[in-house]
Amino acid sequence: MYLPVDGSPELSSIAINAIAKSGSNSIPLLPSGTLSQQTVSDLIVEKGGEKQQVQLLVQTGVGLVPNFVWATGGENPRLFASIAPGFLTLIEDGWQDNAAKMMEIQQQAETKLLTQLATDIPKPLPGLTVIRNVRIFDSVKATVGAASDVYLLRGKITSIVPTGSFATQVENDIDGKGRMMLPGLFDMHGHLSRWEGPLHLAAGVTTLRDMGNDNATLQSIIDDTLQHQLLAPTVVPTGFLEGESPYSARNGFVVKDIAGAKSAIDWYVAHGYPQLKIYNSFPKEILKDTVSYAHQRGLRVSGHVPAFLKAEDAIAAGYDEIQHINQILLNFLVKPDTDTRTLARFYLPAKQVAGLDLQSKKVQDYIKLMKQKGIVVDPTLATFDFLKKVDGEVGDPWKAIVDHLPPDLQRRYATAELDIPDAATAKLYAKSYAKMVEFVGMMYKAGIPVVAGTDELAGFTLQGELELLVKAGLTPSQALQVATLNGARYSKVETRKGSIEVGKDADLLLVDGDPTKNISDIRKLALVITQGSAIYPMDIYQSMGIKPFVTNKPAIQQQAAAPGKGAGTARHGHRH
């Protein structure tokens, strides 16, 4: 079976029929891979007096998320319905009254698969755990220490000592074999779905700042993660505020006046959100009062720059942080009537940043303003690689990983997203993008705090973002500091996360190689510890049809220990 880059649900119908005729539960894909299909449920549906049985199928091997489809029975089965809960329902005409029941069954089946993943992948670490012989990256000083042993209990770091200096009996013994230990990484710009959590964890993202989601969905994700029914990073939620327009994003709350904005902010405060995100269609007339009220309620405020304003206007209104490098540089490109809710927000920077003099007084004054006002920048550089991408060329942030992905994704990442009609345009857009990267380095060197966010392919994109920060002029150690300490600081969890210190959460990574010298070594992740469990990235990747980057698993030697008895050590023979 051949899959085009952009297809329709009819492809599922072709696959359903082909697999039915193959005599097995799978068919090979071109140029590589396998599409597999399993029946997970069935249902009798009705239309008037007519009845038929349909089956819920789950297809894997295409993309990174299982595809749930409903099919008819018989010798020539076809697609009956395709349901994306909360987003879209496609169903054969006349049978619409069955959709709600079908969606309920589908969500139950999906929950069962996700719970199984959350059960099978993590290795719980009950009792005392030691990780021996590791070189700790100090994210406060951006340095690497001497060989150490790190002790953990109930998800917290309890002791850090020179290797071999304790002879305490433990329940779990992990030999780091001289690997580097990093604090868990922060992705400061995600929009988390239920299937993305494993990909984040496999890349070492133990904390994710969600920058806008359906409120009920995000609350459910947080609850299910805490109950160990969902495999996902710790979520720091950001409240999403939008205004009404034909362009509105329907996440969070859509408001039209200050009363609505205050009511939404009160909801977010009551639900423990530390930050607010304001989006493109937010009414500019109430921007300053909304920011002021959010600050009164203890929230940080960030976001896009609302349409028909400049970044300087958002700063004047009291923003603490701005998302996306294009939103930062549109400050010099927009006119009063420029509608940045359209594709102009991409094409203007692609066409004009190349000609922007970054050493000019207006640009330097802008940098001074951001520094003076304490503005934090979430540039999501990797995401904006698409501005220069041409057909047949994989973007820089994904070149190192694309061969590991399923074949349909390999082609997707070699597809242009903007209209780039000729070589001259490609050269212009590439020059503009290079200046965007350069500008992030200029901001960092001027003392403007930068955080590492993605807004793209889960997990993998953060690795590319760190490479781009190094390209912008940060050292690898500074880029790691941005992805750990800065992440914790600007998520308001610095007392618990962001550095490897006694008393903090045991969000820990074991990495082969040395990412403080070669930032690309961040992909050589051998073990992730978070939420009281150990996770092998290899296990996650193999479960999702991705070729692993590290196959040498650090062993977890486990033994039962009598409480309070310290005789003997797990290093000396007490292993199985």
Judgement on whether residues 324 and 343 belong to the same structural domain of the protein: yes
> For the chain, first and last CA: distance in Å?
46
**Looking at the domain assignment, is residue 246 inside a domain?**
yes
From the list 169, 176, 151, the residue with the least C-alpha distance to 161 is 151
C-alpha torsion 452→458→460→461, nearest 10: -40
User: Tokens for 193?
Assistant: 């779905």
Write the CB contacts of 543 (distance below 8 Å, at least 6 apart in sequence).
Answer: 117, 120, 121, 198
Q: How many CB atoms lie within 10 A of CB 106?
A: 22
Judgement on whether residues 178 and 191 belong to the same structural domain of the protein: no
Judgement on whether residues 178 and 264 belong to the same structural domain of the protein: no
- 370 in Cβ contact with 448 (< 8 Å): yes
Residue with the bigger pLDDT between 412 and 160: it is 160
pLDDT of residue 574: 32
* pLDDT tens sequence across 248-272: 998 899 999 999 999 999 999 999 9
Judgement on whether residues 171 and 192 belong to the same structural domain of the protein: no
- If DSSP codes are grouped into helix, strand and coil, which group holds residue 118? helix
pLDDT at 328 over 90: yes
Q: How many CB atoms lie within 10 A of CB 35?
A: 23
The radius of gyration of the chain's CA atoms, rounded to the nearest angstrom, is 25
pLDDT of residue 561: 55
Which residue is associated with the tokens 């969905």? 217
- 71 in Cβ contact with 18 (< 8 Å): no
DSSP annotation string for 283-309:
-GGGHHHHHHHHHHTT-EEEEPPPTT-
User: Tokens for 266?
Assistant: 């009160």
Judgement on whether residues 281 and 258 belong to the same structural domain of the protein: yes
Judgement on whether residues 269 and 332 belong to the same structural domain of the protein: yes
**Looking at the domain assignment, is residue 566 inside a domain?**
no
Minimum mean pLDDT range among 103-107, 338-342, 559-563: 559-563
- 338 in Cβ contact with 413 (< 8 Å): no
- d(C-alpha 298, C-alpha 406), whole Å: 44
pLDDT of residue 33: 80
CATH of residue 484's domain is: 3.20.20.140
pLDDT of residue 566: 42
From the list 328, 332, 335, 342, the residue with the least C-alpha distance to 379 is 328
| Single-letter amino acid code for the residue at 377 | V
Average pLDDT rounded to a whole number, residues 22-36 = 86
pLDDT of residue 414: 92
pLDDT at 572 over 60: no
Judgement on whether residues 105 and 57 belong to the same structural domain of the protein: yes
Average pLDDT rounded to a whole number, residues 439-463 = 98
Which residue range forms the structural domain that includes residue 200? Answer: 185-497
Cis peptide bond prior to 31, omega within 30° of 0: yes
pLDDT at 336 over 60: yes
pLDDT band at 9 (very low <50, low <70, confident <90, very high): confident
**Looking at the domain assignment, is residue 567 inside a domain?**
no
pLDDT of residue 34: 85
**Looking at the domain assignment, is residue 575 inside a domain?**
no
Q: What is the DSSP letter of 482?
A: I
pLDDT of residue 563: 54
Burial class (CB in 10 A: 0-12, 13-18, 19+), 391: exposed
pLDDT of residue 567: 37
**Looking at the domain assignment, is residue 509 inside a domain?**
no
pLDDT band at 213 (very low <50, low <70, confident <90, very high): very high
pLDDT of residue 565: 46
Q: What is the DSSP letter of 483?
A: I
- d(C-alpha 316, C-alpha 312), whole Å: 6
- 377 in Cβ contact with 443 (< 8 Å): yes
From the list 297, 566, 448, 412, the residue with the least C-alpha distance to 3 is 412
pLDDT of residue 6: 75
pLDDT of residue 187: 98
Average pLDDT rounded to a whole number, residues 207-224 = 96
Q: How many domains does the chain have?
A: 3
- d(C-alpha 245, C-alpha 283), whole Å: 10
Residue with the bigger pLDDT between 466 and 407: it is 466
**Looking at the domain assignment, is residue 568 inside a domain?**
no
Judgement on whether residues 423 and 395 belong to the same structural domain of the protein: yes
pLDDT band at 4 (very low <50, low <70, confident <90, very high): confident
User: Tokens for 20?
Assistant: 């039915």
Judgement on whether residues 258 and 208 belong to the same structural domain of the protein: yes
Judgement on whether residues 377 and 457 belong to the same structural domain of the protein: yes
Average pLDDT rounded to a whole number, residues 234-256 = 96
The mean pLDDT of the chain is 94
From the list 507, 359, 504, the residue with the least C-alpha distance to 438 is 359
pLDDT of residue 530: 98
Minimum mean pLDDT range among 31-40, 123-132, 145-154: 31-40
Minimum mean pLDDT range among 4-18, 76-90, 339-353: 4-18
pLDDT of residue 569: 39
Minimum mean pLDDT range among 29-43, 156-170, 172-186, 318-332: 29-43
pTM of the predicted model over 0.85 = yes
pLDDT at 568 over 50: no
From the list 173, 183, 182, the residue with the least C-alpha distance to 130 is 173
pLDDT of residue 241: 98
**Looking at the domain assignment, is residue 502 inside a domain?**
no
Q: What is the DSSP letter of 568?
A: S
Average pLDDT rounded to a whole number, residues 466-495 = 98
pLDDT at 562 over 60: no
**Looking at the domain assignment, is residue 393 inside a domain?**
yes
| Single-letter amino acid code for the residue at 400 | A
Average pLDDT rounded to a whole number, residues 541-570 = 76
Look at the alpha carbons of 393, 397, 399, 404 in this order and tell me if their dihedral is positive or negative. negative
Judgement on whether residues 178 and 278 belong to the same structural domain of the protein: no
* pLDDT tens sequence across 389-420: 999 999 999 999 999 998 888 888 999 999 99
CATH of residue 154's domain is: 2.30.40.10
Write the CB contacts of 124 (distance below 8 Å, at least 6 apart in sequence).
Answer: 532, 533
Judgement on whether residues 296 and 157 belong to the same structural domain of the protein: no
From the list 201, 239, 61, the residue with the least C-alpha distance to 534 is 201
Which residues partner with 279 through β-bridges?
none
- d(C-alpha 414, C-alpha 402), whole Å: 9
- d(C-alpha 192, C-alpha 208), whole Å: 8
pLDDT at 302 over 50: yes
Of 88, 120, 152, the domain-final residue: 120
178 — alpha (psi -120 to 50), left (phi > 0) or beta?
Answer: left
* pLDDT tens sequence across 52-103: 999 999 998 888 889 999 999 988 999 999 998 877 899 999 999 999 999 9
